[in-house]
Amino acid sequence: MSTITFRDALHSAIHEEMARDDSVFVIGEDVIAQGGPYTVTEGVVDKYPDRIFQTPIAEAGIVGLGVGAALAGMRPVVEIMYLDFITCAMDEVVNQAAKMRYMTGGQASVPIVIRLPCGLGRYVAAQHSQIMESWFMHVPGLQVVVPSTPKDAKGLLKTAVRSPDPVMFMEYKRIYTSEGEVPDEEFLIPFGEAEVKREGEDATVIGIGPMVGKSLEAGVLLEDDGFDIEVVDPRTLSPLDTDTICESVRKTGRAVVCEEDSSFAGTGAEIAAMIAESCFKDLQAPVIRVGMPHVPMPFAPSLADSVVPRVDDVVDAVRRVIA
């Protein structure tokens, strides 16, 4: 095992998959000049100069080229500088990539990975800080992946590159520098398999992305109150591992769902509804959601920090659900 950053885990996965498969290539803005805005593609041009392409600011063209290349047998890894800009390519994602296998009766597939830096990083306001996981969960044919640790980032990205269908790969900007242990040997993490990051008996906390780390911190703080929480990381939202989540909720009888996105019509709402439908007889209290208010991301640092859920918000939610 080696201790590396989330960013380096992604970097390693891309290099390994490009070495393994000549059909893998990288395309996006600044992927050569800067190694991408977060240096994830650093060094690719030195090893594979004919398999990395730097583009103009034209997201519809970038994704459209990727979809066409995937249909022709290539495996593009597309980087969109900020998740927000994928809105400029929604036709290519939603109407083309997601629908192709279905509309061709399985004769065609689109093995494309779209990497999407998201959430609050630097304070860059409402058009550069969004989280749209639930948008893509709603689209049949798209796989939605949200790693929370360096190990998950590497294992899930390698699986994504090898997938025959489109993958929306969400990368929270605030955890690019977070560190964790990653196996030195090759490994893949299957889609649709959640992981219990912390075992407990009193309440289940389902954390998404950075909220996994915050939920683990909350677990340590809650020990002082005598509360023992279990933390479940879905890792992929589509497919969603409902079995692992429900198994945990049936054990503890209580559930808190935590996300950094808006709680309104969000990922947490879907998971909470699923728990209510599947585990109603096991619940000892209503499911509680922790998320951002239904507002645009503010520009002022103090305001931005105030709307993004914190460890204390998780602690308060657990106390409410156990009370």
CA–CA gap between residue 132 and residue 79 (Å, rounded): 16
Report CA Rg, the chain. Answer: 19
C-alpha angle 62/60/107, rounded to 5°?
Answer: 80
Tokens of 29: 């803005």
3-state helix, strand, coil in the chain (%, to 5): 40, 20, 40
* Residue 134, CB-side half-sphere exposure with 13 Å CA sphere: 16
Secondary structure letter of residue 165 according to DSSP? S
- 59 catalytic? Reply is yes
CA–CA gap between residue 299 and residue 305 (Å, rounded): 10
Q: Phi/psi of residue 232, each to 5°?
A: -115, 130
- 128 catalytic? Reply is yes
Tokens of 224: 């002082």
CA–CA gap between residue 273 and residue 110 (Å, rounded): 31
CA–CA gap between residue 212 and residue 203 (Å, rounded): 15
- Of 192, 114, 188, which Cα lies nearest the Cα of 152? 188
| Residue 35 CB-density burial (10 A; 0-12 exposed, 13-18 middle, 19+ buried) | middle
- Are the beta carbons of 83 and 116 closer than 8 angstroms? yes
Query: Among the options 29, 128, 133, 259, which is catalytic?
Result: 128
Tokens of 272: 């909470």
Which residues, including other chains, have CB under 8 Å from residue 28's CB and lie 6 or more apart?
36, 41, 54, 55, 62, 78, 79, 80, 81, 115
Secondary structure letter of residue 166 according to DSSP? -
Query: Among the options 17, 59, 79, 230, which is catalytic?
Result: 59
The set of catalytic residues is: 59, 128
